[in-house]
């Protein structure tokens, strides 16, 4: 078996604002496996300033991993605990290599085009007019779950928008999720959550910065607005540490991004622990290209969950790869009438 890797920079169609700044591009790395005439591909997705493995030696670790690919998936996964995005890329690549179709790594009714996955529509931060434009576009496209980034604009502006949204669309018409990306101050976070709860919000992701377990536990206990942990899961390794965090904080939900928490295996560990503590969960992409998004969507389908997932990011880039993935009326489909580009695996790193 041979392995090599390459970097690929995805360019956003529009600058995308979060509480951590504005994104214009996003970096991914691809692992390509070759054995005989068979090829496999996996995406290692990095998010600047968020991925725990966004370190200077990242490409060196990728090169070492490719050089030692004969050690096998299980051994490499164990050695790469602190590089969750590479773990995820390897899981994909090995499955892709041995699959009948390298882009169908979890065959199911989804990949047969017979079922779909409900997804949320994402609204990015920006001027008020931009928020309204995005909202109208998402609703017109058939989305019935909207996820809105909060925490970067003036709080009163965000509240005004949420009030107007609820005046136009009731909670029965549109499920609304918020994502603060840790932007609220611990001192007034509960007051903000209480104010936001009047708008019948499904949940809010990561209201305060991660690592403040005592404060987060208090918020999860006292807030009338359900809290979902996102960044809090990043960098927590080992079952004991994961168990300790969930036992302490007791969140209403956790959100799983395979690129950030150790791939399918790491995500499955979190799911089992979430069940133990009565926390709900859903899966979200970490802005991967359609290659990584395809793998996440196929795996998600095997989990037999009917809640809205965060997998509607395939159209964000100008230079994404064509794929059978398609969103119609707020549902993600695998269109069997479309094919992946011929020789895509060979050309990704060319």
Rg (CA), the chain: 20
Q: How many helices (H) and strands (E) does the chain have?
A: 12, 13
C-beta of residue 151 within 8 angstroms of C-beta of residue 181:
yes
Question: Which residue carries 């927590």 as its tokens?
Answer: 236
Query: Of the listed 26, 192, 242, 257, which one is catalytic?
Result: 257
C-beta of residue 163 within 8 angstroms of C-beta of residue 135:
no
Q: Confirm whether 149 is a catalytic residue.
A: yes
Q: Name the 3-class secondary structure at 279.
A: coil
Which residues, in sequence order, are bridge partners of residue 25?
11
Query: Of the listed 26, 147, 149, 192, which one is catalytic?
Result: 149
C-beta of residue 215 within 8 angstroms of C-beta of residue 228:
no
Q: Confirm whether 34 is a catalytic residue.
A: no
Sign of CA dihedral 68, 69, 75, 76: positive
CA distances from 184 to 47, 69, 128, 141, 188 (A): 21, 43, 20, 31, 7
Alpha helices in 202-262 (DSSP H): 213-222, 239-249, 258-261
Which residues are within 8 A (CB) of 56 and not within 5 positions of it... i.e. 6 or more apart? none
Tokens of 111: 């990949």
Q: Which amino acids are annotated catalytic?
A: 149, 257
């Amino acid at each position: 078996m041979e392995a090599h890797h390459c970097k690929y920079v995805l360019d956003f169609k529009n600058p995308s604002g979060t509480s951590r700044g504005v994104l214009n591009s996003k970096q991914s790395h691809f692992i390509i496996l070759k054995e005989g005439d068979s090829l496999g591909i996996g995406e290692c997705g990095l998010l600047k300033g968020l991925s725990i493995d966004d370190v200077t030696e990242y490409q060196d670790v990728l090169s070492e991993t490719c050089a030692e690919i004969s050690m096998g998936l299980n051994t490499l996964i164990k050695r790469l605990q602190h590089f969750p995005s590479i773990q995820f890329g390897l899981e994909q690549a090995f499955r892709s290599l041995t699959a009948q179709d390298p882009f169908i790594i979890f065959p199911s009714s989804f990949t047969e085009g017979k079922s779909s996955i409900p997804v949320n529509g994402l609204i990015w931060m920006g001027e008020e007019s931009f928020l309204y434009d995005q909202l109208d576009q998402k609703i017109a496209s058939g989305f019935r779950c909207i996820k809105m980034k909060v925490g970067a604009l003036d709080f009163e502006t965000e509240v005004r928008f949420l009030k107007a949204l609820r005046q136009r669309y009731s909670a029965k018409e549109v499920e609304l999720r918020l994502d603060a990306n840790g932007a609220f101050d611990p001192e007034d976070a509960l007051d903000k959550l209480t104010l936001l709860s009047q708008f019948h919000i499904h949940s809010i992701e990561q209201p305060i910065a991660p690592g403040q377990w005592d404060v987060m536990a208090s918020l999860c206990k006292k807030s009338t607005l359900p809290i979902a942990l996102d960044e809090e899961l990043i960098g927590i390794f080992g079952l004991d540490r994961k168990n300790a965090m969930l036992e302490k904080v007791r969140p209403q939900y956790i959100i799983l991004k395979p690129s950030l928490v150790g791939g399918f295996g790491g995500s499955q560990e979190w799911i089992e622990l979430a069940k133990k503590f009565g926390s709900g969960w859903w899966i979200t992409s970490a802005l991967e290209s359609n290659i990584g998004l395809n793998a996440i969507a196929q795996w998600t389908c095997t989990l037999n969950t009917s809640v809205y997932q965060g997998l509607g990011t395939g159209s964000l880039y100008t230079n994404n790869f064509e794929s059978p993935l398609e969103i119609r009326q707020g549902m993600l489909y695998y269109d069997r009438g479309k094919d992946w580009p011929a020789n895509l695996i060979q050309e990704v790193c060319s």
